[in-house]
Structure 1
């Protein structure tokens, strides 16, 4: 194992605070990662990490070494990409672990992964679709596509677009019952609540003149997935509140209609994130760039 690789391995363990998580991120066995760090410590004649059965922590020397290692690895990455020595796009290879919300990931991130794999035959990708936020560092993940604002300052984020939360209904329902003109009018309709979007089924949040507005609605059906809410709305059971990406295809096809647009809350940002302070490998950088470019085309340029 060369010295750059040894320092990359140490940085991965230090950032994850775990040999197992670092091994998942690097696509190696925990034993190989442990040996690499031990060999680095032996060469330096200094301990970088304090190990217990439950945790891994930096020593004082290890903290200083990690800071210098990060700067050196970033400088090496820049050197590798500066000119004649840079790898051609088709030469990029390695293992990526990517996470995204389930429906958004299937509709928007999976096509990006498919195109990326075709462009880079030496790459493997693990795509983890979850409707919960997980720690990139603890889970050994390289990239996440997240919806919403990011309070976590340990993440490096690039805004790639936005989605809306709106109310959608079938044309057949509108013909039979008419269109509600205000959120309050939903009390006179039979609504379909989708718990991930409207966790309080009989009170939905709207916005008017920059102020939040909570309106009571008459809910006849409550479901726990967007797919079920879409199917119920298509069947004419009533209006449902969903995120725009979950219904865009049906809106374009004319099988669902967007209503109450003037009362929609502010758009929700879509962001591509990586752990801050981590050495960004060429393959991770290439995937982030491809994701941002593709999502901006699909979702519209983000409004800053």
Structure 2
């Protein structure tokens, strides 16, 4: 497994793959890997002949009062997991390698960046879009795999990839969950035992909402039910509960007539968790 810390190194490595006629599948991560990330790697192995993973805690997608300094990191553990999974190359740049002094260019999906999580975390998706665009330019993969748990992020990436004519195929991978249903996230380790137990309310609400969606319920009533169900958990601090068109993330009203996505953002203590589920009428 090639370990590359500079743009020059990873470009040389991926150029070698392409020179051999091998396709490249990319899995961008912020490290502190778990089974959800490994599912992305396994999918990438089926999509490309060589798999490249990135580990970079991107500062531009964190707000002033967010958890950049406390975001969990364990490089040695991550590298061991990627080695065991058969990853071919890992790109682990320093911040200055990605954002050199004087950098001033950004990428932003002007509408998608301002709704839902983008409204809760101003500038977040601008940071995501900018760093992923840079990774695409640096590595030039044929395909890139992203988790559906970060559903709005997946929509943002698909949007700017299409808008900017970037020749990368975007693959969404289903959410991987713990045995009790909690969506796997690097932030889960920061939950207190009490909050960890309470957080299963998210997946339970989504499961029941999927059944309700088939009863002819309106989008507004379903949204209200989901919000009330989560707020019945005293430890849950609901930040956002919304139902949107699953393809466009446009607002919907009236009875559900097409696939919709329920999007949740809930704080447990200081930890913001997100979850989602696509439901069909």
Q: Do they fold alike, i.e. is TM over 0.5?
A: no
TM-score computed with the length of structure 2 as normaliser: 0.31
Which is greater in Rg?
Answer: 1
